[in-house]
Chain A
Amino acid sequence: MKDIEISIIAPLYNEEDSVELLYQKIKEAAVKTGKAYEIIFVNDGSSDNTSGVAAALAEKDQALRVVEFRRNFGQAPAMAAGIDLARGEILVTMDGDLQNDPDDIPMMVDKLEEGYDLVVGWRHKRQDKLISRKIPSMIANRLIGAVTGVPIKDNGCSLKVYKAEVIKNSPFYNEMHRFIPALLSLSGVKVAEVKVRHHARQFGESKYGLSRVYKVLLDLMTIKTVLSLGQHPVRWFVKLSVLPFFVSAAIFLGSVDQAASSNVITSTLVVMFFSLGIFLVSLGIVVELVYFKGSFSIKDATSLSMNSSLMDEKK
Chain B
Amino acid sequence: MSSIKSLTIVIPVIERGDQLLEFLNGYYESISGLDLDYEFIIVLTPEYSGLAESIKNKYEAENVKVILLNRNYGEAGVLKIGIDHSAFENILTLPPYEQIAPSHLPKIIDAFGEHDAVVVNRWPRVDHKVNRIQSAAFKGILKLMAYDVPKDPGCGIRLSKKEVFDDIKLYGDMHRFFFILAKQLGFDVAEVDIPQSKLDSYRRIYGFRTYLSRVLDVLTVGFLTRFNQKPLRFFGTGGALSFLIGSAGLTYIAVERLMFDVAASGRPLLVLFSLFLVLGVQLIAIGLVGETIIFTSSKNNKEYRIKKIIN
Contact = CB atoms under 8 A, between A and B. Distances in A.
Given A287-B289, A295-B300, A276 B271 contact: no
B309 A66 contact: yes
B30 to A, nearest CB: 32
A73 B310 contact: no
Contacts of A245: none
A202 interface: no
Contacts, number: 161
Contacts of A219: 232
B193 interface: no
B292 A226 contact: yes
B178 to A, nearest CB: 16
Interface in B54-81: none
Contact of B292 (A70, A268, A290): A290
A97 to B, nearest CB: 19
B296 A279 contact: no
Contacts of B236: 218, 221
A69 to B, nearest CB: 6
Interface stretch (B12-20, B120-128, B131-139, B280-288): B280-288
A291 interface: yes
B285 A290 contact: no
B310 A55 contact: yes
A222 B232 contact: yes
**Interface of A: prevailing SS:** helix
A88 interface: no
B295 A73 contact: no
Contacts of B33: none
Contacts of A70: 185-188, 305-307
Interface string B255-281: 000000001011110110011001001
A138 interface: no
Contacts of A244: 278, 281
A225 B291 contact: yes
A269 B268 CA distance: 10
B277 to A, nearest CB: 9
A221 B187 contact: no
Contacts of B267: 265
Contacts of A85: 309
A73 B311 contact: no
B230 interface: yes
Interface string A203-229: 000000000000100110110011001
Contacts of A55: 310
Contacts of A58: 310-311
A275 B285 CA distance: 14
Contact of B303 (A67, A173, A280): A173
Interface of A: 45, 54-55, 58-59, 62-71, 73-74, 76-78, 80-81, 84-85, 169, 171-174, 176, 215, 218-219, 221-222, 225-226, 229, 233, 240, 244, 255, 258, 261-262, 265-266, 268-269, 272-273, 275-276, 279-280, 283, 286-287, 290-291, 294-298, 308, 311
Given A67-B310, A219-B232, A290-B292, 10 more contacts: A76-B303, A77-B303, A81-B306, A174-B294, A222-B295, A269-B274, A273-B274, A295-B299, A296-B297, A298-B295
14 contacts: A69-B304, A71-B186, A71-B305, A73-B186, A172-B298, A173-B298, A222-B291, A266-B265, A269-B270, A273-B278, A276-B281, A280-B285, A291-B296, A296-B295
